[in-house]
Structure 1
Amino acid sequence: MVVAVDSLSRRSMTHYELETRLQEKGFESSEIEKVLDRLQKLGYLNDQDFALMYSESRLKHYSRRRVQQDMKNRGLSPQLIEQTLESTYSSAMEYEQCLALAKRWWIQEGKRWEQRRESDPAKRTVPRELWIQQKVARKLIQRGYPTEFVWKVLANPEVCLNNDTE
């Protein structure tokens, strides 16, 4: 029980993560189940609370798809994941998030392009806007945003025109 509480004191964990950690430490299955049941009864181990907290903390930085995959990797049930994401993410909000990140990254990549243009001969042949657009698209897709959102956001003149003047 001490190892389990110590692990939970460092960071929140799912039932699956804590069970795996205790197995790695060499505890027997019967002992692990008793400890996990006790921690659930005491309220220290709650997958539903964890899922809600996790999705809310990732809300501004990652897409729905990315958070869904991360939660799945942490051993949460598909039903719990879907229920949590339905309450946390909306399509319109995810699009706005994608737009905000694109604007921010457009500025960053524009500055980076200016700095590296002189040192890299390849950048002299590629148009600035195309190079920045590719970089921003790659970052957004890596964060798990749907491709349709990414191209819709990058087609938005608000992203590139307003930020080029800053």
Structure 2
Amino acid sequence: MGVRLLTVRDRTRAELARLLAVRGFDRADSQVALDRLQEQGYLDDRRFATTWARSRLRTKPMGSYRLGKELEVKGVEEQLVREVLGDLYEEGEEPAARRAMAGKLSVLGRLPASARTLRVARFLQRRGFSSEMIWRLLHEEQQG
């Protein structure tokens, strides 16, 4: 059953354990199966976290805080989340913040500047970027 659940998409160990429990599998038997899947390379939280986070960052640029929380919800351990985010945000959050801001600005094109600035600030905040980053980028946008 575990292999079949992994053919749909890659999952974390915690996600797969939850799915097996919901389907009525015994916890001890599930742990043995999960260990075997991990030993055989079918189940790899690092691979999942890296692939999922890269994809998420590419399609929906966001700050490391929010992306980290999303990974934790998926069942990725805190230490692994820090390592993966460290690799992904090696150059900092600014490139992702700039991409997110550019996308939002293109949608808001004809709004008055003050309304556009407010909406972009809220959008970037929801995406998990720091207030300092948001302020700096908006200040640059207004100056440029």
TM-score scaled to structure 2, two decimals? Answer: 0.89
Of 116, 122, 139, which aligns to 2:123?
A: 139
Matched to 2:64, the amino acid is: R
Distance 2:77 2:29 in 1: 23
SS at match of 2:134: helix
Distance 2:85 2:106 in 1: 30
1:100 corresponds to which residue?
Answer: 99
Distance 1:94 1:33 in 2: 37
Count of matched residue positions in the alignment of Structure 1 and Structure 2: 142
Distance 1:62 1:53 in 2: 15
Flag as ranges the 4+ runs of structure 1 deviating above 4 A.
none
Give a deviation string over 1:54-82, Cα, whole Å, max 9, x none.
22222332221111001111111111111
Give a deviation string over 1:67-118, Cα, whole Å, max 9, x none.
100111111111111111112213x44112212321231221124x3xxxxx
TM-score scaled to structure 1, two decimals? Answer: 0.78
1:79 corresponds to which residue?
Answer: 79
RMSD: 1.7
Distance 2:47 2:99 in 1: 28
Tell me whether 1:151 sits opposite 2:138 in the alignment.
no
Larger radius of gyration: 1
